[in-house]
Structure 1
């Protein structure tokens, strides 16, 4: 594992972002009482300037390249230089991964950018670099460079004030980039309850055979059945520790976009075995604040009347503890404004 000195980290300000009032969006249903609402507000974009006490989360109900790019252009002030676009490229023929055409248009809009991934801890079709590259081709990720960041080993990033981890092994190529765009397919997850921006970098940037063991808490022993691995609150806190390492490394040069479409209860790691989504598509949220963007997506899910399966997956795994752990680590603002660009 190669070592790296601490970069001049830029501190993320504030604590957690929570809550949402979404009565303006009738399609979200009338389940406000179910959601973990604490007091964020919806405001039109024209009225959003000048309020620095809460994070800004921008929203569109349109899930296409045009609106994805519009959202990015609002939040991209800190993106410069060589840019990593962290997505989940999925197992072969995965039915729920982000549309390649949308990602292609987005990537071509970002100068000096490449898609980035890491190999998996589990023995699937992305376990080795050679198999991973075959899967990338199968799934159509051939329109731009795709950097498998742990192809040549690890880099150790520190975790400032982590709950359990003092450092995490990330894909060694991560430090080749000046900025990162976290482009996430928001969905359920077998262990995390949900996979948002935190999961995308906490597991997705960690190296396959070292970092992912750290994040899953299985350094000493790895039971064959993942259901016997550490779960619930401890796992959520390990993810927050790992996510904080990447967020602190990039400082102001990292942004987050959650695409809420085809939200199966299963991660894209499940490939063709993923359960068919039972909740309708919602839209895209974007922010410079990782906690705010994941909280906003969660709140939107909780407003839906067709949310039973996804909410059950989230709550049965203690998934909301991801948000509490990020709050404890001061990874985001305590409140957010939801700003529609439609």
Structure 2
């Protein structure tokens, strides 16, 4: 397989998002969904609206989200549409963009995964059908369960409805918040289920999807944590690609090659959760390539 192209800049200013998009040279057309993490109530590390505004405006996109699968007992305030909308307002999203919660109204859209290793279907918000293309704009960081969060997590857990999140987390045993967290799950199979779900969304948009990963605010915790650990590493840069596997692999490689004193703490989170296995599983499904060419746009 030919190496995938991943474009990179160490400049973490907000205008770099547009510079990278133009360097990639792939125009997202029609009604564009911008899938990003808008942040759990209380989280301090999520990408801010003012940071992403230039690229959202560039693609004339709508910021899209989905409800979560964890309630107040787990620090959640986005598991129902009413509370989720309040968090969106509090975090400044609705005043800056058109915003849509894709699973605000049922029933979910079911995406089949014929070649899925763990799950054979994925549940996403039905309003994903409104969109012709998608920009997956991810904050690359650690994650309490997945080890790290990047493009693949944003494609899978991020795009899944509440039922879909339950389905992935329970490795296809439950689509209900009532019992999905009580199921006994093999951890590697959970990571493989994420890869399965990611493949289904990637396939849905075919060649009309682009991925940006921002290696900033590098905490070991996800933006879904209402109390997150502060960043442990300095900002590294921003990447863009049409390959979600390549861009996540490139981000991991960039962290591994860093001499930042916080690197080992970050990597302990990744390795203790076997985070790279999501990348391995996605590559095995054939919708991305771990081999890539890194192109520094600042050197052109």
TM-score by length of 1: 0.80
Q: Residues 309-320 of structure 1: matches in 2 within 5 Å?
A: 309-320=265-276
SS in 2 for 1:194: strand
Q: How far has the Cα of 1:332 moved from its partner?
A: 1.0
Which residue of structure 2 lines up, in the alignment, with residue 214 of structure 1?
167
SS in 2 for 1:184: strand
Structure 1 stretch 168-177 or stretch 300-309: which is displaced more?
Answer: 300-309
Q: How far has the Cα of 1:75 moved from its partner?
A: 2.7
Q: Tell me if structure 1 keeps the 8 A contact 2:166–2:176.
A: no
1:184 to 111, 114, 138: 138
- Flag structure 2 segments of 5+ consecutive residues without an equivalent: none
Which residue of structure 2 lines up, in the alignment, with residue 77 of structure 1?
26
- Flag structure 1 segments of 5+ consecutive residues without an equivalent: 1-13, 15-52
SS in 2 for 1:84: strand
Q: How far has the Cα of 1:229 moved from its partner?
A: 5.4
Q: Residues 224-243 of structure 1: matches in 2 within 5 Å?
A: 230-243=185-198
Moved over 6 A (4+): 220-225
2:251 to 294, 297, 301: 297
Inter-partner Cα distance in structure 2 for 1:206 and 1:166: 14
SS in 2 for 1:259: strand
With over 3 angstroms needed to count, the CA separation of the structure-2 counterparts of 1:309 and 1:228, relative to structure 1, is farther
Which residue of structure 2 lines up, in the alignment, with residue 133 of structure 1?
85
SS in 2 for 1:314: helix
SS in 2 for 1:119: coil
Q: How far has the Cα of 1:55 moved from its partner?
A: 0.5
SS in 2 for 1:102: helix
Q: How far has the Cα of 1:291 moved from its partner?
A: 0.5
Q: Tell me if structure 1 keeps the 8 A contact 2:169–2:180.
A: no
Which residue of structure 2 lines up, in the alignment, with residue 36 of structure 1?
none
Q: Which one has a bigger Cα radius of gyration?
A: 1
Q: Residues 24-35 of structure 1: matches in 2 within 5 Å?
A: none
Q: Tell me if structure 1 keeps the 8 A contact 2:28–2:59.
A: no
The higher relative CO (CA closer than 8 Å, separation ≥ 6) is in 1
TM-score by length of 2: 0.91
Which residue of structure 1 lines up, in the alignment, with residue 101 of structure 2?
148
Inter-partner Cα distance in structure 2 for 1:309 and 1:104: 31
Q: How far has the Cα of 1:63 moved from its partner?
A: 1.0
Deviations 1:2-52 (A, max 9, x none): xxxxxxxxxxxx4xxxxxxxxxxxxxxxxxxxxxxxxxxxxxxxxxxxxxx
1:268 to 184, 199, 223: 223
Which residue of structure 2 lines up, in the alignment, with residue 3 of structure 1?
none
Which residue of structure 2 lines up, in the alignment, with residue 157 of structure 1?
111
Q: Residues 250-265 of structure 1: matches in 2 within 5 Å?
A: 250-265=205-220
Inter-partner Cα distance in structure 1 for 2:186 and 2:208: 31
Q: Residues 32-47 of structure 1: matches in 2 within 5 Å?
A: none
Q: Tell me if structure 2 keeps the 8 A contact 1:216–1:229.
A: no
Inter-partner Cα distance in structure 1 for 2:140 and 2:178: 28
Q: Tell me if structure 1 keeps the 8 A contact 2:164–2:175.
A: no
CA RMSD of aligned residues (A): 1.8
With over 3 angstroms needed to count, the CA separation of the structure-2 counterparts of 1:260 and 1:172, relative to structure 1, is same
Which residue of structure 1 lines up, in the alignment, with residue 64 of structure 2?
116
Which residue of structure 2 lines up, in the alignment, with residue 5 of structure 1?
none
With over 3 angstroms needed to count, the CA separation of the structure-2 counterparts of 1:251 and 1:300, relative to structure 1, is same
